[in-house]
Structure 1
Amino acid sequence: MATDILTRPRRGHLTKRRLLVEAGMVVAIALILILIVPAVISGFRLGLLGRFLALAIVALGIDLIWGFTGLLSLGHGIFFALGGYAFAMYLQLNTLADGQLPDFFSLYGVTELPWFWQPFYSLPFTLVALVLIPSLVAGMLGYLVFRNRIRGVYFSILTQAALVVFFNFFNGQQKLINGTNGLKTDTSTFWGNQVGSAEMQFTFYVLTVVFLALMYALCRWLTSGRFGRMLVAIRDDENRVRFSGYDPTSFKVLVFAVSGAIAGIAGALYTVQSGIVSPQYMDIAFSIEMVIWVAVGGRATLVGAILGAVLVNLARTLLSENFPEVWLFFQGALFLLVVTALPDGLVGWLRYRLGNRVRAWLGPSRSVVTPPLLELDPNVREEKREAIDKR
């Protein structure tokens, strides 16, 4: 008890200092990505990096619900695509003159703009919609599932089934959203410039870096403190949480809705950098890949989700360019390596395995007297030392 009382102020000071150091590192990395990286790589590679960073945002949302809450979602492509479609619809309408319809409507004999397209003339509505619509869909789906206490593999199966439903629905809506062809964004205009131009692509790259830092800060805040401990408790033993007087359903619905909103933001940023949004964003394989990114980087680390998304997509790009016929075998070998040799992911291996070796090389650390103990009167300080030594 005496040790806890004496070290508690010191621990609070160290926690604040660690948070300041972490915030400084995030800002420094963001500045490097914005100011230095564009000067050393080509525009094509910068565009790829922007897409990878957008995918890292959705990986953060998956790590929030899977790594910290234990909810393995195999249907996050739904929310990713909804965010992309919301922004693409605005870009389609923003490019046209008053009263004019997007070109694909004429192919199917549509002469009047569908009612649900009308609000997307407004940019403020679009920005709210690309966050709110995926969040509401995720919240409603989560409520229907969690209120019946469905979890584990059954939850994963249901999210994948919902993904199939959305995929088939969007595929069949030729007259409303151009079906399998999707909506193009690269030829649209935004802020007076063509979306596919180098200037706008760099702007969207910068926005992606900024939003990645903001989403990391949001997830870091949510997973810290009491709310974060509740998520971990739900992951480790949901029944004990329920017997303790808490309702896990509300927490799971909330965190699933937040994760859906994060995926919607990622989908919008990815759409304007890839030049198109289509139902292929809701392909089963794509949603499974999102989970693999988090597994490779390391669950419940946040940093691992970002690294996993960037490194896996970068490796896939490089391998497909140099080994177009066998690159899938390299990717499969990487996943097998992570599952068998690195179950905690890259960040987990660096944190636990490599960290222990470094500490072993450096030797045992010396005990340090805490500042509160040094501030005591010399006589009282000696008594406190004796009490600590006895413990």
Structure 2
Amino acid sequence: MPEADSSCIPRLFSNPRADQDRVYGPSERAIVSRAAFEEAMAEIGAWPGYAPTPLRSLPGLAREAGIDRIWYKDESARFALGSFKALGGAYAVLRLLAREVTARVPGVPVTALDLVVGRHAKVTRTLTVATATDGNHGRSVAWGAQVFGCNCVIYVPAACSPGRRAAIESYGATVVVVDGLYDDAVRRAAADAAAGGWFIVSDTSYSGYMDIPRDVMQGYSVMVEEAITQLPSSERPTHVFIQGGVGALPAVVCGHLWESWGRQRPRLVVVEPHRADCLYQSAVAGRPTKSAGDLDTVMAGLACGEVSLLAWAILERGADDFLTIPDEGAIRTMRKLAEGGQGGRPIVAGESGVAGLAGLLCAAAHEDTRQALGLAPDARVLVFGTEGATDPLVYAELVGRSPEAVLAG
């Protein structure tokens, strides 16, 4: 058994509402479905530069955790953005612009290529998309706006790093820094968009705003299906540890596996920072509930205080457990991957992208949590490394080496 780690004490709540026998029904498929995935896959799979990201085996870390397998879906090279978010925000921008062009030019089919080459530029140049972000989602929306030909305004909380702001601006977006937290940026973006006649492209859904977040979430399902097809044909994971945020990502992972595998789906554990735990608190309360923490976490992409309503509609019955971890767990996991001791080449992974793996390692190192989650020696765990070094300076500060030096080593 792995030695207990006093620097990474997890907090676990097993969901009393989880229903492993529940059928993935019409209400769930209205949010995320395999039918909508096929449409997203047909579109995203045709984009220049599309290729499935690798599913890596981490035998060294599996031995450390005292389990049979760890599979790590490495999103660090997804398109040019270095994050799974490229699949969501840009896809939603495309869907939005196609709908708006069709509404203004009835009877004219609109393809992604039409938008890329500027065939409908007279319409798209008059449109503006906006969103709030801690970094990766905003970069994806800005990239999509640049590729498909509309204007873009991105709102970031004050804590968003200069490197992440600059990355967003590099795609031609206007960046507005909000003096507050992520949820304050969400409200400011919504207010300004309403006043300016802009379109919000958010992965956070709330009352009266559901359609575009569905498109964002459905784009993420491409990553999940890739992982399913990359698993060894004779093996399936017993567990999935997946990072939380507003809940969009874990809801997609949960929903796609639930519809695909039914009662044979793996145990789904949602992982959040101790200080940004809106999903954990919602599970405890049995309804969408704000985080009890101050959202001050190194896992900036997960520093969300409020739950997406669409996400909660799936996670309320589909997620088995909710786990929170301290920042040190994420930092140590970044360093372990950078060292390459997991049984393969070094992996560059961002602080938010390792949260699921960090949650697994923290849980495995504490016997009571380990037993509660059923992490037996034959456990096989799938995790999603959802970002690379999306801010190289922050990465170097946390790991002690630059991303380039890690890969060269």
Fold-level similarity (TM above 0.5): no
Q: Which has the higher contact order (CA 8 A, sep 6+)?
A: 1
Larger strand percent? 2
TM-score, length of structure 1 as denominator length: 0.28
TM-score, length of structure 2 as denominator length: 0.27
Greater gyration radius = 1
